Amino acid sequence: MVGLWQYALSGYVSERSLGFRCVVRASALRADSAHALVDLAIANPSFTLARVESTLSLSYGRARKLVGQLVDLGVLGVVDEKAYKRRYFAPRVVGVLSAAYE
């Protein structure tokens, strides 16, 4: 598993992150926290709003709004929308990890 994670972070994912950045740049989002959230999503296969709050030093409301905006843009997805404590992920990153595992 460590080999897979090292492969995913060895530059292939960071090249793919350019696609995320283009989507964010093309949107109305201008906050640095949007780019920081993209970095968080690349580094963590799944995460919660609490993780976004603590890592980016955002209020719950701002973290929730920012995650929602990135979900609307298709940069992030929700693991289980019916779950009480939702987990979020970046579908492209999960795709890279899945392809590297095959």
Encoded tokens for 69:
């905006």
Q: Rounded distance, CA 21 to CA 10, Å? A: 18
Is residue 78 helix, strand or coil?
strand
In this prediction, residues 73-100 reach a mean pLDDT of 82
Q: Rounded distance, CA 24 to CA 30, Å? A: 8
| 77 DSSP β-pair partners | 89
| 89 DSSP β-pair partners | 77
**pLDDT score for 63:** 94
Q: What is the pLDDT of residues 1-33, one digit of tens each?
A: 444 444 545 555 554 554 656 665 656 566 678
CATH number listed for the domain at residues 2-101: 1.10.10.10
Encoded tokens for 27:
């949107």
Q: What is the pLDDT of residues 27-55, one digit of tens each?
A: 656 667 887 888 888 888 889 999 999 99
For residue 57, is pLDDT > 70?
yes
For residue 91, is pLDDT > 60?
yes
Domain range list for the chain: 2-101
51, 84 in Cβ contact below 8 A?
no
